[in-house]
């Protein structure tokens, strides 16, 4: 790895001798979220592959850090001129093994995978800038127990070997970016040497998807302006190619992995890519947990799904003085050993585990096993989130209500101070509870569903404000950012006491304050019609209240915000213990048309 000063970059870019093309392989990840073990099949642990023998495609099991390590090693072996990069959310909102180690297990494994540079994502800020700086620079978790939940390897934690980039995140105390804006790596030698420059950043809207304490002391600036300025600087310094690592994304309607036709690309990434200058060659995106390989306005645009179920292989052919003369990308599935013999489509084979990474994962799993395996409740059947229909990678559908979300809202209502009802944002529900082992539910199962450690907060809201909050489910920007079975939007998951009907024929994506999809008079709270003038007590998580988490600005209009200090996972454990043999709840929301 070579980190170049500006003078060295100019020397490389300004050579006048004869040059030969240089092939560079970029191996891209995003949204790993500390998934060290194989994810559940319906939670990022499967992808659908095109199969000439099956027009609908074939779904295969994927993921697991030990298998991901093998895939990365194979791709690196194909070209010594390589770099492993990521587009954010590599930690945070993680399964129990990573969560219980304050993400140290994930960082340790990512170091072993050979990750070299990553943009920050919104979940890197879940616990604030001080904790993120610790993950980069090392040191034991404050208040943790060495050897139990922190500094688990020889009593130390060295931090990430990879470099975080944060071009659009300014620390207000210093006036500088929290992490560097750019990073470079050079390949080849002599007159043929080339340099690839990377710009890393997160979505400008990070404060709307992270708790207020998580982004305290930070400012997030416009993506397009930031990228274009940084890309111009890299070009001026002699970079032959510029690659953007951005934690923002889109979605397509592709039903199989690696559909390079990029059908019906949509989402927040489009205006960003369309606003980029000619200095940018490739955009590696994330955040939306989708997979795509697209060409848009001369830019190669990629995302590899999530949880390590696939990687994006980007091959660039560069020439000093000429820049990029060819670029191509493909998504590669990380096929694990949990597929039946003969079930894979022709041309695909399962990967073997990387022994070193597998040993690391098993070490961390065993350290957390006692708490993780504690039985805390039971269920009578699968309790699932809503999932996107026909997606190439199993992904939650944030436009729809799901039983798991409803249960979490019931948990909030039962676990917090007295309230009339509760709601939870769909992004706060990270996994399903699946019926297995006779219906037994463990602490680890619950922590996988609710890994954030949010506290429960209550707010006084009028009926009119509650109606406005419900309409914001389908108003911009929630409607432009999320697509699914209900078209667009971000549907709050309600506790049993909140019921209403909405009309899908009414316009979606209206300006804030102008939506009218909730059927007039249909909202009831605990069986009684909601009174617009009355005041109700509503329970949220600390991401949603005091707000405006996930763009629900109506919550900020409420009064008497009280943070109970009750942590969501503790409320969840208490609820499961008092509700044995929990059954999947029926829907509380009715859709017309």
Residue 354 sits in the same domain as residue 205? yes
Residue 212 sits in the same domain as residue 85? yes
Note down the domain range covering 382.
374-592
Residue 368 lies in a domain: no
pLDDT over 60 (residue 268): yes
Secondary structure E strands in 351-482: 375-378, 421-424, 440-442, 455-462
User: Shortest CA distance to 466 belongs to which of 420, 415, 407?
Assistant: 420
Report H helices in 292-394.
Answer: 355-367, 369-372
Please state, in angstroms and rounded to a whole number, the distance separating the CA atoms of residues 482 and 250: 9
How many of the other CB atoms lie within 10 Å of CB of 182? 19
- What are φ and ψ of residue 464, in 5° steps? -65, -40
Please report the pLDDT score of residue 2 as a whole number.
36
Contact between 124 and 91 under an 8 Å Cβ cutoff? The reply is: yes
Please report the pLDDT score of residue 17 as a whole number.
57
Exposure of 565 by Cβ count < 10 A (0-12 exposed, 13-18 middle, 19+ buried)?
exposed
User: Shortest CA distance to 65 belongs to which of 44, 88, 87, 93?
Assistant: 44
Please report the pLDDT score of residue 229 as a whole number.
99
Residue 366 lies in a domain: no
Of the chain, the end-to-end C-alpha distance in Å amounts to 57
The domain boundary, picked from 324, 358, 392, lies at: 358
**Residue tagged 């019921």 (tokens):** 499
pLDDT over 60 (residue 16): no
Average pLDDT, the chain: 94
Rounded mean pLDDT of 432-456?
A: 94
Residues 73, 78, 81: CA angle, nearest 5 degrees: 95
pLDDT band at 566 (very low <50, low <70, confident <90, very high): confident
Residue 277 sits in the same domain as residue 385? no
The lowest-confidence range among 234-238, 369-373, 528-532 is 369-373
Give the CATH number, domain containing residue 404.
3.90.780.10
Please report the pLDDT score of residue 43 as a whole number.
83
Residue 348 sits in the same domain as residue 393? no
Decide the pairing of beta strands 498-503 and 589-592: parallel
Residue 501 lies in a domain: yes
Contact between 373 and 560 under an 8 Å Cβ cutoff? The reply is: no
Quote the number of domains for the chain: 2
Which tokens hold the place of 575? 């609820």
The lowest-confidence range among 126-140, 204-218, 318-332 is 204-218
Sign of the dihedral defined by the CA atoms of residues 202, 206, 211, 213, in that order: positive
Rounded mean pLDDT of 173-184?
A: 98
The string of pLDDT tens digits covering residues 76-116 is 999 999 999 999 999 998 888 999 999 999 999 999 999 99
Please report the pLDDT score of residue 470 as a whole number.
98
pTM: 0.82
Please state, in angstroms and rounded to a whole number, the distance separating the CA atoms of residues 493 and 378: 22
Q: Collect all residues with Cβ–Cβ distance below 8 Å to 249 and sequence separation of at least 6.
A: 267, 268, 269, 285, 286, 287, 288, 289, 290, 303
Q: Collect all residues with Cβ–Cβ distance below 8 Å to 23 and sequence separation of at least 6.
A: 79, 81, 315, 316, 317, 318
Cis preceding-peptide flag for 589 (omega within 30 of 0): no
Residue 325 sits in the same domain as residue 380? no
Please state, in angstroms and rounded to a whole number, the distance separating the CA atoms of residues 113 and 121: 19
Residues 487, 275, 116: CA angle, nearest 5 degrees: 90
Residue 324 lies in a domain: yes
Quote the distance between the C-alpha of residue 120 and its chain's center.
11
Residue 21 lies in a domain: yes
Residue 415 sits in the same domain as residue 331? no
pLDDT over 70 (residue 245): yes
Q: Which residue has the higher pLDDT, 58 or 549?
A: 58
Rounded mean pLDDT of 151-174?
A: 98
How many of the other CB atoms lie within 10 Å of CB of 548? 17
Cα atoms found within 13 Å of the Cα of residue 9, Cβ hemisphere only: 19
Please report the pLDDT score of residue 481 as a whole number.
64
Please report the pLDDT score of residue 389 as a whole number.
77
Residue 484 sits in the same domain as residue 386? yes
Residue 181 sits in the same domain as residue 309? yes
Which tokens hold the place of 274? 């369309």
The string of pLDDT tens digits covering residues 360-378 is 999 999 988 888 899 999 9
Which tokens hold the place of 494? 């309600």
Contact between 115 and 28 under an 8 Å Cβ cutoff? The reply is: no
pLDDT over 60 (residue 10): no
Residue 326 sits in the same domain as residue 429? no
Please report the pLDDT score of residue 9 as a whole number.
39
**Residue tagged 């990228």 (tokens):** 227
Residue 184 sits in the same domain as residue 273? yes
**Residue tagged 């979940």 (tokens):** 123
């Amino acid at each position: 790895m070579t980190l170049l000063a500006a003078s060295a970059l100019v020397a490389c870019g300004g050579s006048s001798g004869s040059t030969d093309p240089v092939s560079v392989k970029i191996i891209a990840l995003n949204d790993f979220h500390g998934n060290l073990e194989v994810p559940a099949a319906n939670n990022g642990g499967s992808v659908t592959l095109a199969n000439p023998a099956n027009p609908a495609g074939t779904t295969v099991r994927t993921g697991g850090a030990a298998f991901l390590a093998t895939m990365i090693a194979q791709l690196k072996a194909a070209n010594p001129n390589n770099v492993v990069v990521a587009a954010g959310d590599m930690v945070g909102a993680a399964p129990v093994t990573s969560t219980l180690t304050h993400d140290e297990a994930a960082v340790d494994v990512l170091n072993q995978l050979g990750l070299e540079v990553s943009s920050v994502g919104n979940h890197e800020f879940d616990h604030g800038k001080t904790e993120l700086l610790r993950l980069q620079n090392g040191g034991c978790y404050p208040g943790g127990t060495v050897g139990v939940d922190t500094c688990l390897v020889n009593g130390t934690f060295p931090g990430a070997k990879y470099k975080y980039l944060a071009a659009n995140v300014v620390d207000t105390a210093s006036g500088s970016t929290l992490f560097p804006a750019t990073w470079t790596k050079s390949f080849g030698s002599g007159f043929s040497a080339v340099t690839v420059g990377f710009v890393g950043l997160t979505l400008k809207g990070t404060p709307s998807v992270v708790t207020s304490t998580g982004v305290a002391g930070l400012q997030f600036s416009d993506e397009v302006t930031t990228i274009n300025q940084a890309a111009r600087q890299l070009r001026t310094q002699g970079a032959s190619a510029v690659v953007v690592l951005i934690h923002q994304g889109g979605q397509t309607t592709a039903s199989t992995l690696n559909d390079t036709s990029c059908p019906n690309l949509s989402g927040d990434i489009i205006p960003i890519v369309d606003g980029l200058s000619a200095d940018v060659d490739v955009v590696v995106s994330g955040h939306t947990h989708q997979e795509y390989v697209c060409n848009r306005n001369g830019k190669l645009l990629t995302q590899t799904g999530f949880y390590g179920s696939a990687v994006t292989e980007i091959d660039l052919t560069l020439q000093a003085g000429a820049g990029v003369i060819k670029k191509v990308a493909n998504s590669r599935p990380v096929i694990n050993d949990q597929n039946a013999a003969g079930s894979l489509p022709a041309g695909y084979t399962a990967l073997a585990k990387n022994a070193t990474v597998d040993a690391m994962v098993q070490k961390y799993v065993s350290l957390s096993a006692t708490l993780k395996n504690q039985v805390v409740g039971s269920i009578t059947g699968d309790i699932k989130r809503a999932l996107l229909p026909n997606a190439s990678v199993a992904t939650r559908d944030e436009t729809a209500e799901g039983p798991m979300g409803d249960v979490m809202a019931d948990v909030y209502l039962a676990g917090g101070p007295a309230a009339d009802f509760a709601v939870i944002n769909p992004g706060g529900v990270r996994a399903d509870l699946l019926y297995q082992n006779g219906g037994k539910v463990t602490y680890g199962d619950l922590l996988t569903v609710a890994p954030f450690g949010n506290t429960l907060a209550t707010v006084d809201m009028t009926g009119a404000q509650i109606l406005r909050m419900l309409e914001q489910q389908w108003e911009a920007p929630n409607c432009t950012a999320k697509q699914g079975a209900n078209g667009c939007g971000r549907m709050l998951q309600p506790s049993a006491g909140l019921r209403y009907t909405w009309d899908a024929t009414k316009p979606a994506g209206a300006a804030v304050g102008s939506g009218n999809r909730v059927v007039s008079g249909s909202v009831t709270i605990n069986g009684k019609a909601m009174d617009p003038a009355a005041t109700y007590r509503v329970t949220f998580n600390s991401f949603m209240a005091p707000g405006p988490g996930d763009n629900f600005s109506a919550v900020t209009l409420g009064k008497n915000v009280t943070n109970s200090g009750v942590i969501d996972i503790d409320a969840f454990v208490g609820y499961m213990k008092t509700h044995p043999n929990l059954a999947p709840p029926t829907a509380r929301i009715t859709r017309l048309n």
